[in-house]
Structures are given as structure tokens and as C-alpha cells.
């Protein structure tokens, strides 16, 4: 599909992408960019890559697709550092969980460029970070939200969409603002709630492993995600997240009142609504 | 181990217990009590039982172990209905997720009986209820909390402990009040939080299946549990749960302030505490 693909940042997502691109034969040559010497060395040893570079400019030269797999707060500065070295027909995308700020900055930056930036959010991941947990099937059957702006070239958009679909993903198009509003509810809020729950149980840390059931384990699983990554995501989607938080707090207030007022029929109705939502997720 | 065991209420836990007792050869004869004609018929057809009864008194006669696997709010009245028909050496236990009220009522009721009641809470379950989801390995490697009162017979307690251990469980002894306080934090609060999250996302019910990742799915999994069962559990452990809710709300308030005051280093520290808790759970 591509002669050369550059994957920047071989963490869990980047390294999994290398494996998946290799497996699906989507590039003749895979170049990886890694910031640190150590990561670059590991990538060369452990991943099926053709070239590893520590200089961003060098890493993107000659590629038709560049995928930034670094934390959201680093995307804009990396785009700045590569823009002058991109091939004319190059498609640049990222895998960040927040899109408005990245896409707005990229739109400005790419105004005068012949290459294009189109944001992506492949909804795949794990609470286990890093190259060592890379998995060639990480993207399979997951959803990828693609967030083109109004001026996105339709051929380039089609090519990027097919790229994610060839990796086994279901693609959805959405504008960056809509993405951030919806994801604040469906992804960022759950993460925060999971973290708050884990945080509030901190005094039970020693006995929890023995006394808890699978329920607690599942509910706090995503709280194990990288604090650095998630602080960055929450910072970039602050306004939407605070709105989602407010809705959650209203629901929480409702259930607390039902319990303290001994309205256990009302509580049952409340729980029922939650269970309907849960069942619908897995239909 | 036992000549005859009676399992009352062949729902997910009761039916799984039938399968596990059969597999581990812990009883020569298994009797099941089911309230409804339909459930009794299903139990006879689908489970490896020797006898199915709809009359509680008849079902317990001749058994050395009786396990009540019905919702927590029904336990006391069922105990009342069987107390006069129990064999002298019979051990009666239950599988309820709240213990103080059940054990207090049982203590009064069994004062003049030669048989004994000792509460159990095998921490196994699933958001999928009912006999059809029964699984002979449901108890394997899970924890069972046993909640004897001060007057419990040590031989009977030992026998009950071994019963759960033979099913593959790790046993812990605890008094009923301690059980309810700890479980309000480690089990009932997570359930409530999961339900509130699902409830607060109800307006996203149509798009959630396509737009959510594994994070939301895991976080709301237990919200799929039976509203009737959980309203009963929360009612019986109301005071402890309201305390746990308060602690959760304090943590939530903290994180909301960090976000709205743009303290993203503080946020990272907060998330870090949650991730340490999560990692420790799976050590």
C-alpha cells in the first residue's frame, strides 16, 4: 500500500502498529523514530523495522505515510520539526485521544504545505504501556475515529481510511470538536472515574488483593494507565471533561439521595437504567 | 465429605455450586430447593441433582449442609421456614454479599437449635445471572469470607471452611461487621460507581457501542448485575456504603479541583496514586 511508512514513537501503540503493518504487508519499508538512544536500540532489536532514526527530519524523508504515536502534548512540536522534510504527497496522522487542539494547530501548520495532516484516533490500547507489550492484533476489530478538517483532500482521506481498515479497524469520520465532546463522555470520564475509585480506596491497598472480587479489578483496570499520558489528555480536553464530570456528579447525587432516603425501589430503577446501558454495549 | 447437601436457589451461584460439589465429589446426594415450578423443572433437567423440592422444609431434611443461595433479603425468612426441620448436626450457610443483618437474625433464630448457622460470602459471580450461566469453576481461586459469630462451634467452622477450600477457594475468617465495612469499600462502592457511570451515559446509549473502547466496557461491566439483587445488598449495608460514597466523593472533588485549577502536575500525582493501587491488585 505504501512504499515507506514512518512510525514515530515506538510505545505500546507505535510498536503494535509496526507489527501490524508488517503482518498486513502495508509497507515495503518501515522506519521508526525514537527520541531516546535506549528506545532506538530496543526498537532495532525487537521490532521488524528497516531503519531506526533519532532525528525526526531524517526519519520522515521518503515516506508516504507518517504516524505520530507520541503523547498528545508532543504532537504539535513534532509536526513543527518535520513539516519541511515531508514528501509532497505524504499523509501525516497521529493516534492521539484528543483531537481539537492537535488538528487546529496542524491545520495552521499545513496551510502552506503540499502534504496533509488528518487526525486519527485508533481506539485500541491497554493499561500496559511500552514496546514490550506490543501486539500485532491490538487494532483488530476496534474502532478508528478519523477527524479530517473541511479542507482535507478526499483521495488522501480515502487512503488513510483504508489503511486503518486494512489493519482490521472499523472507521468512523467525525470532526475534531465532535470527537472530543463524545470521547470526553465515553472514554475520558470512565478513565477519571476509574482513577478516582482507585484513589479513594488507597487506604485499603494491602488487603484489597485478597478481599476484592473481579468487579473491583475490572472497574479500576484503566486506572492503571500512564498518569503522564492521561494528565496530557485531560488537559487538552478540559472543558468537555468538566461537563461530563458534572453530569456524572448529578447521577451520583441522585443515587446517594435514593439510598439515604431509603427509596430502594427508586434505587432499583436507577440501577436498571445502568444495566440497560451495559447490556446494550455488548449486544 | 457430606452424605447429603441441600442447595437452596439454583441461580448463577446455586447452580454453579451444584456443578462444583458434583465435580469435587463433596456430597453423595445433592438436593435442590427452587421456589418456582419452572425453575424446579429446569434444575431437574439441566443440573446433576438427585432431588428437587419446592417445599423448603422437605428439601433440608437429612442434609448435613444447607447452602442458601437466594437474594440477601430473603435469607432470614427462609431460615425461619427451615429451622425446625434441620438435622441436629446440620451446618447452614449462605452466599450473601452482606452479612451483619443476616448473621444477627440467624444468631437469634439458632439460639435454641442444635444445628448451626455460619455465614459465608464466596466472592464469585458474574454480571450474567441465572442457571444457564452456571460454571463448575466459578469458585476456583476466588476468596471466600466466612463470618462466624463468637459462639460458632469450632468443628462445624472447620468443616465449612474445608468445604469452600475443597472447591478451590481461599478462605478468610472475619466478623460480620468487619466484613460489611470492608466490602462496602471494595465491592459495593465499585458496583455503585459502575452503575452511576452507566447511568450518566444513558443519553449516549445508541452511539456508545461503536465509539467506546475496552475501557468503558470494563468499567461498566458490573453495572450489568441484577438491579434487584444489588438494591437488596445496598439496602442491607446502607450505613457503610454511604460512608464509602462520601470518601469517593471527596476524591472526586479533589480531582475536579485539580482539573479546573489547571494543576496538571497535581493531577498526574493523583492519577499515579490510582495506578499504584491498580497495579498492586494484580501483583
- B125-172: pLDDT as tens digits: 776 788 999 999 999 999 999 999 988 999 999 999 999 999 999 999
- Is the Cβ pair A187, B215 closer than 8 Å? yes
CB-based burial label for A147 (10 Å; 0-12, 13-18, 19+): buried
The answer to whether B202 contacts A273, with C-beta atoms less than 8 Å apart, is: yes
pLDDT at A106 (0 to 100): 96
**Closest residue in A to B223 (Cα–Cα):** A275
Q: Collapsing DSSP states into helix, strand and coil, what is residue A36?
A: coil
**Structural domains present in chain B:** 2-174 (3.40.50.720), 179-281 (1.10.3660.10)
Of A193, A199, A255, the CB nearest to B270: A199
Residues of A in contact with B170 (CB under 8 A): 210
The 10s digit of each residue's pLDDT in B30-41 is 999 999 999 999
Mean pLDDT across chain B, nearest whole number? 95
Q: What is the pTM of this model?
A: 0.88
Q: Do B143 and A170 touch (CB under 8 A)?
A: no
Work out how many CB contacts closer than 8 A connect A with B: 307
HSE (CB half, 13 Å, CA atoms) of A225? 26
Q: How many CB atoms lie within 10 A of CB A115?
A: 21
Q: How far is B218 from chain A (nearest CA, A)?
A: 5
Parts of chain A with a pLDDT under 50: none
CA distances from B213 to A190, A207, B107, B207, B223 (A): 10, 30, 48, 12, 17
* CB-CB under 8 Å, A277 with B199: yes
**B217: nearest CA partner in chain A:** A281
Residue partners of B117: CB distance under 8 A and separation at least 6: B79, B92, B93, B103, B106, B107, B109, B110
Please write the tens of the pLDDT for every residue from B112-123: 899 999 999 999
How big is chain B by its Cα radius of gyration, in Å?
21
Q: Do A275 and B224 touch (CB under 8 A)?
A: yes
- Dist. CA A191–CA A195, nearest whole Å: 6
Amino acid at each position: 500500500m505504501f512504499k515507506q511508512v514512518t512510525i514515530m514513537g515506538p510505545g505500546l501503540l507505535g510498536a503494535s502498529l509496526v507489527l501490524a503493518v508488517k503482518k498486513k504487508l502495508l509497507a515495503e519499508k518501515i522506519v521508526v523514530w525514537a527520541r531516546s538512544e535506549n528506545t532506538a536500540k530496543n526498537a532495532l532489536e525487537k521490532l521488524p523495522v528497516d531503519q531506526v532514526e533519532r532525528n525526526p527530519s531524517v526519519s520522515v524523508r521518503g515516506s508516504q505515510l507518517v504516524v505520530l504515536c507520541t503523547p498528545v502534548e508532543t504532537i504539535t512540536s513534532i509536526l513543527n520539526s518535520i513539516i519541511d522534510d515531508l514528501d509532497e504527497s505524504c499523509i501525516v496522522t497521529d493516534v492521539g485521544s484528543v483531537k481539537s487542539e492537535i488538528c487546529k494547530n496542524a491545520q495552521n501548520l499545513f496551510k502552506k504545505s503540499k502534504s496533509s495532516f488528518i487526525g486519527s484516533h485508533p481506539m485500541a490500547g491497554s493499561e500496559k504501556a511500552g514496546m514490550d507489550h506490543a501486539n500485532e492484533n491490538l487494532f483488530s476489530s476496534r474502532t478508528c475515529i478519523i477527524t479530517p478538517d473541511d479542507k482535507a483532500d478526499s483521495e488522501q482521506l480515502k487512503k488513510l481510511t483504508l489503511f486503518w481498515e486494512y489493519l482490521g479497524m472499523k472507521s468512523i469520520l467525525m470532526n475534531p470538536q465532535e470527537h472530543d465532546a463524545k470521547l470526553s463522555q465515553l472514554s475520558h470520564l470512565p478513565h477519571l472515574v476509574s482513577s478516582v475509585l482507585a484513589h479513594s480506596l488507597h487506604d485499603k491497598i494491602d488487603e484489597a488483593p485478597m478481599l476484592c472480587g473481579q468487579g473491583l479489578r475490572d472497574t479500576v483496570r484503566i486506572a492503571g494507565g500512564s498518569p503522564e499520558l492521561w494528565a496530557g489528555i485531560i488537559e487538552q480536553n478540559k472543558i468537555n471533561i468538566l461537563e461530563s464530570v458534572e453530569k456524572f456528579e448529578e447521577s451520583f447525587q441522585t443515587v446517594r439521595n435514593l439510598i439515604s432516603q431509603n427509596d430502594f425501589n427508586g434505587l432499583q430503577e436507577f440501577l436498571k437504567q445502568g444495566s440497560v446501558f451495559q447490556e446494550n454495549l455488548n449486544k
